[in-house]
Amino acid sequence: MPPAPALPLLLFLATLATGAAAAAEVDALVSFKSALTVPPAAAPFFATWDAAAADPCGFAGVACGGAGRRVTGVSLPGLNVSAASVPFADLCAALPALATLSLPENSLAGGVGGVAACAALQELNLAFNGFDGAIPDLSPLAKLRKLNVSSNRFAGAFPWASLAAMPDLSVLALGDNPFLAPTVAFPPEVTRLTNLTVLYMSAARIGGAIPPEIGDLINLVDLELSDNNLTGEIPPEIAKLTNLTQLELYNNSLRGGLPAGFGKLTKLQYFDASQNRLTGTLAVLGSLKRLVSLQLFFNYFTGGVPPEFGDFKDLVNLSLYNNNLTGELPRSLGSWAKFNFIDVSTNALSGPIPPDMCKQGTMLKLLMLENNFSGGIPATYASCKTLVRIRVSKNNLSGNVPEGLWALPNVNVMDLAGNHFTGTIGDGIGNATALTNLLLAGNRFTGAIPPSIGNAASLETMDVSGNELSGEMPESIGRLSRLNSLNIEANGIGGAIPASLGSCSALSALNFSRNKLAGAIPAELGNLPRLNFLDVSGNELTGAVPASFAALKLSYLNLSDNRLTGPVPEALAISAYGDSFIGNPGLCATNGADFLRRCTPSSGSRSANAARLIVTCILAVTAVLLAVLGVTLYLRKRRRAEAEAAGALGPGGAKLFAKKGSWDIKSFRVLAFDEREIIEGVRDENLIGSGGSGNVYRVKLGSGAVVAVKHVTRARAAAAATAAATAAMLPAAKARRTASARCREFDSEVGTLSAIRHVNVVKLLCSITSEDGAASLLVYEHLPNGSLYSRLHGPEARKLGGLGWAERHDIAVGAARGLEYLHHGCDRPILHRDVKSSNILLDESFKPRLADFGLAKILSGSAAVDSSAGVVAGTLGYMAPEYAYTWKVTEKSDVYSFGVVLLELVTGRPAMVPAEECGGESRDLVDWVSRRLESRDKVMSLVDARVTEGWAREEAVRVLRVAVLCTSRTPSMRPSMRSVVQMLEDAAAAREEDAPPKLLEVKVI
């Protein structure tokens, strides 16, 4: 024991040491903060982080403990702070007592190697950031109890062996790291962590079967293994996990039935095994009385829904769609709790709809389409004002629809199509102010469309086709400013077409066919700027085809089988609309169209006839003189070109065109080069790409400028046509004739495309054609940043850096505007027919240009039906599903393909998702995404992990919603490109206005 006089000195020294340690910790935390970029919203949180403070224990988010008041915890959750790298090593060295480091839901990036130096850590939470690189060996963190590194961009193998050093680990969360190295088998180190209560390994690329040892983790409360490559059966040992409240196994390749002992999991509240290959019945689930949410869709379950489900007092969410279930639903299903969601679509269920699922007044969605349900819609749902979606189409339902159902204020989709409903459309429909889709096709509704329909201001799609409706169309329908598609086909509706429809400026599709409409077609329809589908065939319409129709950009027009008379506007009397006027003997053409009779000229005076004769003679003489002049100039040019072509092999390597001959250049822009400079640059060493239509060369001109030159050979076109015809079992001779016709049309088609002037369409500078017509060169502007595909998926994405979300959104909007121009801005619609990320090129500022548009059309003839051409229009993964059985390409096909591009931008994945990410079988991106849209959390997990900022991920979800609309299986449900442009611009409106983005639901339509 030291002498008494020494004690004050020791205390003084201890105080100095404590003060020095506290000062060092203050310095370390202030230095740590300086490495962060703090947004204005988080500034108040850091207001207490004062560099002059005596100790850091008063800092927000900082905890101190122990005798020396050392820092034991740093917690900065959800502040949206960002950093290119975090100085973990310095922080750990300065805070030796740090037990908790929690930095979730920020925008932090870089590696985390230094975190292993925090040897005292008991909790490490780095979730929902953008950390990348390898996760280091975590063995030094032997005291760790909670480890959460989920939702980052970590790559390489997870250090599974490190887990052996953490026997007290209770929480292990490493899911949503799509770049981790895949495992062939379930990591055995995990099943040895017997103290685990939470195991979250969803979307962590785990392979193999779930091992029987999973049953050793008897303390588990939450087990999540979704979105992996798991195979085999669910092991019976899982029944040992009697403390489980949540079990997530969706989107794997699990097979077999639910284990016999599964019913022992009586504490289970949330169970999701959707999107697997599970079979058997659901009987074993009858004892799980605490279930809150049950999702088993996209499996192969058979049998009935257990009657015990009707007694589940906590069940609020039931998704069993796309199975093979039969029998009836329990009558009391959903009547106990605040039930909000049922989807049992696409099964073989029968019987009545349970009447009390909205008994608590909280139900949001009633989805029971594609079954054999019978009876009527229970009257109880007429007062369910919380409903936002009713879809009971394709059943055997009958009777009158409850009157109040029409007037529900929050319903946005009412789908009753394909049943046997009778009665009238209720007048209360005018109160359905949120209704966007009214789908009543294929029923037995009678009476007239109520005038109150004009008050349903949000209506976008209305399909009442195939009913027994009568009366006249109400003028009030013209008040529906958002109406995009209107279909009344196959009814008995009479009277005139309302002129007020001309006010529905959003209309893109009108189908009035097979009714009793009479009178003239209103000229106001010609003022609809977005209209591209019009069918009024099979009516009793009279009068002329309105001259205003000449301004429409229609991809489909059908006026057949009416009583129309007079001349057809010249813009419509073209071969593209050759079948549009059948059954109207009174129609004629003034431009000589061979599918219409020639209009008879009015008889004129003798002097008028003489004047016409004189003009004809003058024109004939002029034509002869011009022909002679043209031949003379051609011969002179040929002799000069032959002399110039003598030096066919120039320095620097072999040229592609080594024979003598002349070339014809057609310029579409002001050129600073001639054909010789281009031809000499088409060399093997300048080849930068190759495709079905020809090779592409990068040619540097003498001025230093660079252009892209595509070499299109007629032989290649003919060979492609013949091969495709053979594959399609068409006669080869027919294919040769088709190819010959295409070659003759090449120049005129290029002339059409050369007239396109749009900032988001690649510029065609000129075409250069050989004398014998065997080859053509198309000279385009050169885009230095390559294609969108290469920037998203190619090596350039890793070598040169990927695309941030702001750039991705700008590319989406720009490409959409270019495609909108092709569909709606040209004299005649141009269908791209091969929209894909590799055909979207990026300039030096990453502004997009559509490329190769129309080329498939040039080589394939008709833009509407491809069966005659024998050439497949599109690329695997991008082709609309209806193309497989119709061989028809419309503007909606382009919209579908563009939707796939949007999915690529949002998810960062290619149009065909590799087999290793899909359990051994590759899937197209649309299918891959559609299997992950059942909840908000799962939708967020679809967003590319490289998009880390919170605002950007929210905006990406908004774009994802647009993509889902574009890739709808039903073409008529897809929006027009004009609508797509508007929706994409709206998606960024919150960013521009600095307002919090509205959370959107994403669901397959």
Give 904: exposed, middle or buried? Use CB within 10 Å, 0-12, 13-18, 19+.
buried
Interval 946-985: pLDDT, tens = 888 888 888 898 899 899 989 988 787 888 888 898 889 8
pLDDT digit string (tens) for 702-718? 888 888 888 876 544 44
Query: CA separation (Å) from 849 to 742, 760, 783, 806, 841?
Result: 26, 4, 8, 17, 5
Element (H, E) at 74: strand 70-75
Greatest mean pLDDT range, 194-203, 768-777, 843-852: 194-203
Q: Is 137 a catalytic residue?
A: no
Least confident among 93-102, 164-173, 879-888 = 879-888
Model pLDDT for residues 29-61, shown as the tens digit of each residue: 999 999 999 999 999 999 999 988 888 999 999
Dihedrals φ, ψ of 990, to 5°? -65, -35
Q: Which long-range contacts (CB under 8 A, 24 or more apart) does 537-546 make?
A: 537/513, 537/561, 537/562, 537/583, 538/513, 538/514, 538/562, 539/512, 539/513, 539/514, 539/515, 540/516, 541/497, 541/517, 542/518, 543/519, 544/520, 545/521, 545/569, 545/572, 545/587, 546/521, 546/522
Q: Quick one: average pLDDT of 75-101?
A: 93
C-alpha pair distances (Å), 657 with each of 319, 769, 822 = 64, 12, 34
Q: Does residue 465 sit in helix, strand or coil?
A: coil
Residues 6+ apart with CB under 8 A from 406: 425, 426, 427, 428, 429, 431, 432
| Class of residue 219 by CB neighbours under 10 A (exposed 0-12, middle 13-18, buried 19+) | middle
Q: In this model, does residue 738 exceed pLDDT 70?
A: no
The amino acid occupying position 886 is T
H runs (alpha helix) in 344-496: 403-406
- Closest among 793, 753, 987, 756 to 901, alpha carbons compared: 793
Q: Kindly write down the DSSP assignment for every residue of 577-625, as one continuous string.
A: GTTTTTT-TEEEESS--TTSEEPPPPP--HHHHHHHHHHHHHHHHHHHH
Judged by average pLDDT, the poorest of 161-175, 257-271, 979-993 is: 979-993
Say which DSSP state 822 is in.
I
Is the separation of the CB atoms in 480 and 501 below 8 Å? Answer: no
Q: Six-digit token pair at 852?
A: 């190769």
With b for 16 or more beta-carbon neighbours within 10 A and e for fewer, the 45-54 pattern comes to ebeebeeebe
| Strand partners of residue 850 | 761, 840
pLDDT at 552: 86
Residue with the bigger pLDDT between 685 and 605: it is 685
User: What pLDDT, on the 0 to 100 scale, is given for residue 941?
Assistant: 82
- CB neighbourhood size of 347 (10 A): 23
Q: Mean of the pLDDT values across residues 658-684? A: 76
Alpha carbons 304 and 282: distance in angstroms, whole number: 7
How does DSSP classify residue 428? G
pLDDT higher than threshold 80 for residue 735:
no
Q: Check residue 740 and give its pLDDT.
A: 46
Specify the range with the lowest mean pLDDT, choosing from 93-97, 385-389, 825-829: 825-829
pLDDT surpasses 80 at 600: yes
Using the predicted structure, report yes or no on whether residue 603 has a pLDDT greater than 50.
Answer: no
Q: What percent of the chain has pLDDT over 70?
A: 81
Question: Which residue in this structure is represented by tokens 């685990």?
Answer: 196
How much is the pLDDT for 520?
A: 96
Pairing mode, strands 420-422 and 396-400: parallel
- The whole-angstrom separation of Cα 841 and Cα 467 is 48
* Predicted local distance difference test score (pLDDT) of residue 990: 62
Q: Is 710 annotated as a binding residue?
A: yes
Give the C-alpha separation, 278 to 332, whole Å: 27
pLDDT at 649 over 60: no
How confident is the model over 504-532, as a mean pLDDT?
92
Mean of pLDDT values over 429-441: 94
DSSP letter at 821 equals I
Q: How far is the CA of 725 from the CAs of 718, 730, 860, 866, in angstroms?
A: 10, 5, 11, 11
Which domains occur in the chain, in start order? 9-154 (3.80.10.10), 476-483+492-600 (3.80.10.10), 658-782 (3.30.200.20), 786-1005 (1.10.510.10)
Of 227, 272, 356, 834, which one is the catalytic site residue?
834
* Per-residue confidence (pLDDT) for residue 68, from 0 to 100: 75
Q: Identify whether the C-beta of residue 403 lies closer than 8 Å to the C-beta of residue 425.
A: no
pLDDT digits (tens, 9 = 90+) for 902-912: 999 999 888 88
- Residue 661 pLDDT greater than 90, yes or no: no
Read off the pLDDT of residues 761-807 as tens digits, 9 standing for 90 and up.
888 888 888 777 667 888 888 888 888 888 888 766 655 557 889 99
